[in-house]
Amino acid sequence: MRSALATILASLFLFSSTELHQFVKLPELMQHFQQHRKADPAMDLFAFLQLHYTANHPEDNDDDDDMELPFKELKATGHVDTVITMNKTDHRSCPEFPVIIEPITHPEGMPRYRSNAVFHPPKA
């Protein structure tokens, strides 16, 4: 069950991110690999892919066949980006707090020296 789910998810990812006409070329890849295999029986699939999909491809007079392999060139890819914007009005407002100014009254009157009002000599 787990491998079937992994296969399905991998297939969905692969098919959603790859151009379909590249998958159609997979049989051509296998035929071209078999041609190279006939010429050199020691060649494995990894060596074949390395030969055809790296920068050091030798001149072997089959460039037309090589360009028919999948993922060798980008053809017409239709892609359109659409930007959707939604206008959202911002109705935030700052709360208003009433400012009440009330004078502070002291029972003895206004202290003379505010900074020293806390400090008094000890009383016996």
Q: DSSP assignment of 14-83, as one string?
A: HHHHS-HHHHHTHHHHHHHHHHHHHH-TT--HHHHHHHHHSS-----S-HHHHTTSTTSS----------
* Inside any domain, residue 49: yes
* Inside any domain, residue 107: no
Average pLDDT over residues 17-28: 76
**What pLDDT score was predicted for residue 75?**
62
* Inside any domain, residue 38: yes
pLDDT digits (tens, 9 = 90+) for 29-86: 889 889 889 988 898 888 888 888 777 776 777 777 777 788 777 665 566 677 777 7
Q: What is the CA radius of gyration of the chain?
A: 40
* Inside any domain, residue 29: yes
pTM tops 0.75: no
* Inside any domain, residue 42: yes
* Inside any domain, residue 101: no
When divided into structural domains, the chain yields a total of 1
* Inside any domain, residue 106: no
* Inside any domain, residue 46: yes
Instruction: Name the residue range of residue 27's domain.
Output: 19-75
